[in-house]
């Protein structure tokens, strides 16, 4: 059974905020139980098989790194993760009370996979530099396996978000990096502008991670979040989940005024 642990106390939240602003990342260990991590990992495995069967296999890194997109509507466990109180507390603090989710996917760094490639996350990669200095977006890396130096853990270049630009090709190679080594069930929060990559997986076991990104509500999400659950599926869900999926944002309809919001199939007056 899923257990919701309490959100962070304000001292820890202060520390997370300071790290995200100053260093660019922060790890919290054991946010979910081993059983929850194992359950999610099993679901991801089924989704990979479905993707392959349906011709929707998304691979990169010599075909050894695999992505499963749009997971929030695909299992109740991801609906629980995306609105986990610890995660929501951090992103409300960094991105505003009206924070939205931008994308929620799985990234599987397979046995023998090469490094993922140094980059910054959306929307920064779609923006011209210099980026604004405040946070626009944040990444949440869910570790469904122990992350180790050898198995493709995520690496960040500390303070690189302060450059307010993307790394040039080759620029990050050789810079001092910090590898997110932590036990299964831990989370790493990152500033979306940090230079980072998944490390090579030198083991023969795939490393499974989930990637949940959150935006300030004025930034268009990377995935089409409002449509990932139907109105019917969302009916019994929390207001937090509805907010994260962008269902609370009000639009100005040219004919009717401003009180229109997204549904699974279009717009409706609130
Ligand atoms: O899976 C990881 O370790 C990081 C992947 C990543 O940074 C991304 O897909 O944006
Ligand atoms: Fe990334």
Q: Which atom of ligand 1 is nearest to the CA of 152?
A: 3
pTM equals: 0.95
In tens, the pLDDT along 181-206 reads 999 999 999 999 999 999 999 999 99
The closest ligand to the CA of 194 turns out to be 2
Mean pLDDT across 153-164: 98
Work out which ligand 1 atom sits closest to the CA atom of 109.
Answer: 1
Percent of all residues in the chain with a pLDDT value above 90, rounded to a whole number: 88
| Residue 211, ligand 1, Cβ within 6 A | yes
Query: Is 198 a pocket residue for ligand 1 (Cβ < 6 Å)?
Result: yes
Stretch 41-57: mean pLDDT, rounded? 96
Is the CB of 121 inside a 6 Å radius of any atom of ligand 1? yes
**What are the beta bridge partners of residue 268?**
261
Which residue has the CA at smallest separation from atom 5 of ligand 1?
Answer: 198
**3-state class percentages of the chain: helix first, strand second, coil last, to nearest 5:** 25, 25, 50
Which ligand 1 atom is the nearest neighbour of the CA of 154?
3
- Taking only the tens place, the pLDDT of each residue in 115-141 is 999 999 999 999 999 999 999 999 999
Residue 156 has pLDDT above 90, yes or no: yes
Bridge partners of 198? 154
pLDDT for 242 beyond 60: yes
Ligand 1 centroid to Cα of residue 196, in Å, is: 8
User: Contact 104/222 with Cβ under 8 angstroms?
Assistant: no
Confidence label for 5 from pLDDT (cuts 50, 70 and 90): low
pLDDT number for residue 210: 98
pLDDT at 2: 53
Looking at residue 90, what is its pLDDT?
A: 98
**How far apart are the CA of 149 and the centre of ligand 1, in A?**
15
- What is the overall mean pLDDT for the chain? 94
Considering only CA atoms, which residue is closest to atom 2 of ligand 1? 198
User: CA–CA separation, 248 vs 262, rounded Å?
Assistant: 8
pLDDT at 263: 86
Is pLDDT larger for residue 256 or for residue 239? 239
Question: Sorting pLDDT into bands at 50, 70 and 90, what band is 264?
Answer: confident
**pLDDT, tens digit, 9 for 90 and up, residues 96-121:** 999 999 999 999 999 999 999 999 99
**Looking at the predicted structure, is the pLDDT value of residue 255 above 80?**
no
CA dihedral 227, 231, 236, 238 (to 10 degrees): 40
pLDDT of residue 66: 97
Smallest CA separation from ligand 1 atom 7, residue: 197
Q: Alpha-carbon dihedral of residues 135, 23, 116, 71, nearest 10 degrees?
A: -50
Cα-only R_g, the chain:
18
Q: Residue 1 has what pLDDT?
A: 46
Q: Where does residue 113 fall: left (phi above 0), alpha (psi -120 to 50 degrees), or beta otherwise?
A: beta
Paired tokens of 38: 């194992």
Q: Check pocket membership of 223 for ligand 1, CB cut-off 6 A.
A: no
pLDDT at 4 over 80: no
**Residue 196, ligand 1, Cβ within 6 A:** yes
73: which residues sit within 8 A by CB, 6+ positions away? Answer: 228, 229, 233
Domain ranges (residues) in the chain: 10-223, 228-270
Q: Residue 1 C-alpha to ligand 2 middle, in angstroms?
A: 31
| Confidence at residue 265, expressed as pLDDT on a 0 to 100 scale | 83
CATH of domain 10-223: 2.60.120.620
| Cα 118 to averaged position of ligand 1 atoms, centre (Å) | 10
């Amino acid at each position: 059974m899923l257990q919701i642990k309490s959100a962070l106390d304000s001292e820890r939240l202060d520390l997370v905020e300071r790290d995200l602003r100053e260093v660019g990342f922060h790890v919290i260990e054991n946010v979910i139980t081993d059983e929850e991590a194992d359950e999610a990992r099993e679901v991801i495995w089924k989704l990979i098989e479905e993707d392959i069967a349906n011709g929707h296999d998304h691979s990169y890194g010599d075909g050894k790194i695999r992505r499963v997109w749009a997971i929030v509507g695909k299992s109740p466990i991801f609906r629980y993760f995306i609105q986990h109180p610890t995660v929501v507390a951090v992103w409300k603090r960094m991105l505003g009370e009206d924070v939205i989710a931008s994308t929620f996917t799985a990234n599987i760094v397979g046995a023998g996979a090469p490094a993922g490639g140094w980059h910054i996350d959306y929307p920064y990669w779609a923006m011209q530099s210099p980026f604004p200095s405040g946070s626009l977006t944040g990444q949440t890396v869910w570790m469904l396996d122990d992350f180790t130096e050898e198995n493709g853990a995520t690496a960040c270049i500390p303070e690189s978000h302060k450059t307010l630009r993307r790394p040039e090709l080759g620029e990050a190679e050789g810079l001092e990096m910090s590898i997110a080594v932590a036990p299964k069930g831990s989370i790493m929060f990152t500033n979306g502008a940090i230079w980072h990559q998944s490390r090579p997986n030198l083991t023969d076991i795939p490393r499974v991670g989930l990637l949940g990104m959150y935006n300030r509500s004025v930034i268009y999400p990377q995935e089409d979040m409002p449509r990932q659950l139907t109105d019917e599926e969302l009916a019994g869900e929390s207001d937090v989940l509805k907010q994260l999926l962008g269902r609370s944002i009000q639009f100005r309809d040219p004919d009717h005024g401003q009180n229109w919001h997204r549904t699974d199939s279009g717009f409706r007056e609130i």
